[in-house]
């Protein structure tokens, strides 16, 4: 049984043995986080130390205030295309403001308990934009992998590909060799020694080889960004004005939306691995606090990192202490070894992000959905392509809208409106659809089984089905609505049209209506128009009432025998 836990409840029954496990997990994840933090920062268009600052501050705050005991927060690959676009368009200072505003948006989302909204985002949309981001990240690392020079970063994917093609003649063999060494080391380490941090080993091996044999032939972090300081980040409040808030509020919403999706998905993954239960609203509050404070120290937006969280769990983490320890480890390494980071070749950073992109692409799920060749596949492909060729905001908006429209279409097709009659061979005279034929259908009483939600997407079809199949304007129309779970105002409007039109010459009886539809009909006045005596709980009672309203003269000689009473009504001698 899962118990709701507060701040102190997360550490209930905490022991020295648990601390040892958290120390090991925190140390492992901290070592892995350093190259990733720098790589994500560089790919986002900012200095590498800003990624380290984010790893330290956001990592500790998310662990302290978040809603998952195992969450590891920091810069992630999902943010790279968005942050790079913001830096290119607005500059680093405005990126800090966007992250700061996004923190407040996340905080308010948590306070207003919007954490559960994550379940309303369809999987094809999340897989589509995640795979699209992976392609964008991979493409963005080709320059450093090959050591190309003279590259000018463009706004669109196509323009960047064209820029790469134009500068392929500037390939640096030494940079390519360094990148290949790093990539092979990472892949080999992950396969043979999965518990050893492959990115760090690859970074170290390739850096040492490049430094020993061709140190002057490859670009390094130091030559591109200057020496990484081994001091703590300085507190600085960005110059926030109303004009800047107005300018950056839209990018801030994008950061907040993606941050909430990524962090809650990471928390769900952690739940599956540990059989635990996170607090989604508290997680958003923790993410908000982290993103409010991190920019004040020069850090970039952060969220829950799925891969690092999974590594944290696999290495035995039992509480948020592991996340706190991970941040402290990164801080200690920054203070002691920062100058050495300046010698890291940029070509060594590229394979790290390429591997991240490959792992986050969800390629198996992607191709599995594509092979379905259904509406979900369409949503996936559209979201994927828009993420690459437009931007994430447009992709998610269009993906969600398309998913919604296709869902409405499927739901509208699920509404069943079909004529029915009692089955005389059934012990309880069960009303069934297959009983209606050309020679077995009461001319004066029509019964319809209605199954499914009666909403705007299905309402018109519902009305047309009934109005087009009523035979010779019967005296009584019985609508069996016990399987209609929901009616919206559009559905009520079409139902009201049927009732008002039919009531001019006959009567409408409604059977088994559920609570929500009945409440809506009461509010709109349709219940009063029909009268409570026209609502029945059981179909048999409605049929008995309807038979009392029919024109018995029309029953004489009728051979349909739709009801048990028809034998007596149709036989003039018996009558």
Q: Which token pair is 111?
A: 């306070």
Q: Which token pair is 122?
A: 């369809």
User: Both 106 and 179 in a single domain?
Assistant: yes
End position of a domain, from candidates 404, 432, 453: 404
Phi-psi region of 45 (alpha: psi -120 to 50; beta: other; left: phi over 0): left
Phi-psi region of 150 (alpha: psi -120 to 50; beta: other; left: phi over 0): left
Taking alpha carbons only, the member of 125, 74, 60 closest to residue 396 is: 125
End position of a domain, from candidates 404, 426, 458: 404
Element (H, E) at 141: none
DSSP string, 212-263: HH-TTSS-BHHHHH-PPP-SPPPP------HHHHHHHHHHHHHHHHHHHHHH
Q: How many domains does the chain have?
A: 2
Is there a domain that residue 10 lies in?
no
Cβ atoms of 529 and 500 within 8 Å: the answer is: yes
User: Both 79 and 150 in a single domain?
Assistant: yes
DSSP string, 335-365: HHHHHHHTT-BHHHHHHHHHHHHHHHT-HHH
pLDDT at 76: 93
The SS3 call for residue 437 is: strand
Burial 280-301 (b: 16+ CB within 10 A, else e): bbbbbbbbbbbbbbbbbbbbbb
Range of the domain at 387: 16-404
End position of a domain, from candidates 371, 404, 437: 404
| Cβ neighbour number for residue 256 with a 10 Å cutoff | 27
Q: Which token pair is 176?
A: 């390519």
Cβ atoms of 301 and 80 within 8 Å: the answer is: no
Cβ atoms of 435 and 422 within 8 Å: the answer is: yes
How far, in Å, CA of 94 to CA of 74, rounded?
19
Is there a domain that residue 4 lies in?
no
- CATH code of residue 496: 3.30.750.24
Cβ atoms of 54 and 37 within 8 Å: the answer is: yes
Taking alpha carbons only, the member of 162, 158, 125 closest to residue 390 is: 158
pLDDT at 575: 47
Is there a domain that residue 419 lies in?
yes
pLDDT at 1: 37
Cβ atoms of 346 and 143 within 8 Å: the answer is: no
Burial 442-481 (b: 16+ CB within 10 A, else e): bbbbbbbbbbbbbbebbbeebbebbeeebeeebbbbbbbb
Is there a domain that residue 410 lies in?
no
User: Both 332 and 436 in a single domain?
Assistant: no
User: Both 361 and 471 in a single domain?
Assistant: no
C-alpha radius of gyration, the chain, whole number: 33
Burial 538-555 (b: 16+ CB within 10 A, else e): ebeebbebbbeebeeeeb
Taking alpha carbons only, the member of 130, 70, 65, 121 closest to residue 284 is: 65
The SS3 call for residue 416 is: strand
User: Both 348 and 467 in a single domain?
Assistant: no
User: Both 477 and 360 in a single domain?
Assistant: no
Taking alpha carbons only, the member of 108, 99, 105 closest to residue 53 is: 99
Nearby residues of 202 by Cβ (< 8 Å), 6 or more positions away: 181, 182, 183, 184, 185, 186, 189, 348, 351, 352
Nearby residues of 77 by Cβ (< 8 Å), 6 or more positions away: 40, 43, 133, 134, 137, 353, 356, 357, 360
User: Both 367 and 464 in a single domain?
Assistant: no
User: Both 396 and 429 in a single domain?
Assistant: no
How far, in Å, CA of 488 to CA of 510, rounded?
17
Q: How much is the pTM?
A: 0.80
How far, in Å, CA of 343 to CA of 470, rounded?
83
User: Both 388 and 432 in a single domain?
Assistant: no
Separation of CA 277 from chain center: 18
Is there a domain that residue 258 lies in?
yes
How far, in Å, CA of 271 to CA of 278, rounded?
7
User: Both 162 and 293 in a single domain?
Assistant: yes
| Cβ neighbour number for residue 271 with a 10 Å cutoff | 16
User: Both 179 and 289 in a single domain?
Assistant: yes
Burial 417-435 (b: 16+ CB within 10 A, else e): bebbbbeeeeeebebeeeb
Is there a domain that residue 5 lies in?
no
User: Residue holding tokens 């004040």?
Assistant: 296
Is there a domain that residue 214 lies in?
yes
Taking alpha carbons only, the member of 101, 103, 111, 114 closest to residue 57 is: 103
Element (H, E) at 393: helix 392-414
Is there a domain that residue 7 lies in?
no
Q: What is the pLDDT along the chain (575 residues), one digit of tens a residue?
A: 344 444 445 666 778 888 899 999 999 899 889 999 999 999 999 999 999 999 999 999 999 999 999 999 999 988 999 999 999 999 999 999 999 999 999 999 999 998 887 778 888 998 998 899 999 989 989 999 999 988 888 778 898 899 999 999 999 999 999 999 999 999 999 888 887 888 889 999 999 999 999 888 999 888 888 888 888 788 988 889 999 999 999 999 999 999 999 999 889 889 988 888 899 999 999 999 999 999 999 999 999 998 899 989 988 899 999 999 999 999 999 988 888 888 999 999 899 989 988 988 888 999 999 998 899 999 999 999 999 998 888 898 899 999 999 998 888 888 999 998 988 877 767 888 888 888 888 889 999 999 999 999 999 989 988 888 776 678 899 999 999 999 999 999 999 999 999 998 889 999 999 999 999 999 999 999 999 999 999 999 999 999 998 888 888 888 888 888 887 887 765 54
Burial class of residue 8, CB neighbours in 10 A (0-12, 13-18, 19+): exposed
User: Both 435 and 531 in a single domain?
Assistant: yes
């Amino acid at each position: 049984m899962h118990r709701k836990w507060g701040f102190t409840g997360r550490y209930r029954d905490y022991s020295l043995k648990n601390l040892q496990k958290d120390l090991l997990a925190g140390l492992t994840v901290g070592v892995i986080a350093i190259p990733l933090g720098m790589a994500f920062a560089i790919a986002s268009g900012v200095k590498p130390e800003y990624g380290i600052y984010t790893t330290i501050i956001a990592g500790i705050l998310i662990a302290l205030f978040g809603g998952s005991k195992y969450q590891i927060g920091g810069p992630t690959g999902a943010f790279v295309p968005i942050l790079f676009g913001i830096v290119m368009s607005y500059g680093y200072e405005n990126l800090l403001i966007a992250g700061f505003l996004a923190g407040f948006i996340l905080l308010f989302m948590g306070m207003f308990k919007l954490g559960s909204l994550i379940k309303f985002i369809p999987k094809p949309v999340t897989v589509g934009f995640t795979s699209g981001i992976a392609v964008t990240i991979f493409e963005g690392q080709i320059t450093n992998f090959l050591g190309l020079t003279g590259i000018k970063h463009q706004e669109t994917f196509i323009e960047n590909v064209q820029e790469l093609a134009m500068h392929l003649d500037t390939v640096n063999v030494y940079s390519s060799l360094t990148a290949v060494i790093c990539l092979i080391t990472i892949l080999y380490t992950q396969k043979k020694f999965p518990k050893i941090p492959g990115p760090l080993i690859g970074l170290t091996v390739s850096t040492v080889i490049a430094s020993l044999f061709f140190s002057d032939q490859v670009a390094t972090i130091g030559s591109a960004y200057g020496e990484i300081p081994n001091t703590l980040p300085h507190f600085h409040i960005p110059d926030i004005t109303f004009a800047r808030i107005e300018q950056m509020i839209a990018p801030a919403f994008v950061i907040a939306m993606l941050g909430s999706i990524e962090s809650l998905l990471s928390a769900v993954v952690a739940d599956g691995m540990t059989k635990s239960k996170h607090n989604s609203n508290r997680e958003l509050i923790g993410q908000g606090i982290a993103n409010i404070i991190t920019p004040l120290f020069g850090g970039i937006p952060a969220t829950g990192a799925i891969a690092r969280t999974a590594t944290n769990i696999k290495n035995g983490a039992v509480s948020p202490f592991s996340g706190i320890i991970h941040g402290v480890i990164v801080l200690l390494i920054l203070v002691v070894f920062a100058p050495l980071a300046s010698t890291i070749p940029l070509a060594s950073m590229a394979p790290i992000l390429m591997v991240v992109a490959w792992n986050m692409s969800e390629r198996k799920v992607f191709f599995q959905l594509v092979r379905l060749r259904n509406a979900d596949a369409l949503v996936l492909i559209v979201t994927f392509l828009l993420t690459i060729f437009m931007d994430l905001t447009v992709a998610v908006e269009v993906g969600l809208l398309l998913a919604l429209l296709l869902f409405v279409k499927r739901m509208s097709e699920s509404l069943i409106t079909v004529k029915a009659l009692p089955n005389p061979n059934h012990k309880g005279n069960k009303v069934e659809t297959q009983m209606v034929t050309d020679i077995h259908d009461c001319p004066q009483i029509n019964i319809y089984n209605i199954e499914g939600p009666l909403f705007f997407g299905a309402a018109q079809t519902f009305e047309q089905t009934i109005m087009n199949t009523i035979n010779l304007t019967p005296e009584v129309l019985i609508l069996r609505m016990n399987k209609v779970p929901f009616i919206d105002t559009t559905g009520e409007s079409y139902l009201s049209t049927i009732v008002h039109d039919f009531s001019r010459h006959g009567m409408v009886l409604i059977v088994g209506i559920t609570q929500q539809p009945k409440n809506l009909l009461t509010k709109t006045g349709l219940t009063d128009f029909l009268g409570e005596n026209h609502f029945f709980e059981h179909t048999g009672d409605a049929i008995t009432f309807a038979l009392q309203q029919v024109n018995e003269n029309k029953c004489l000689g009728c051979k349909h025998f739709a009801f048990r009473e028809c034998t007596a009504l149709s036989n003039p001698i018996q009558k």
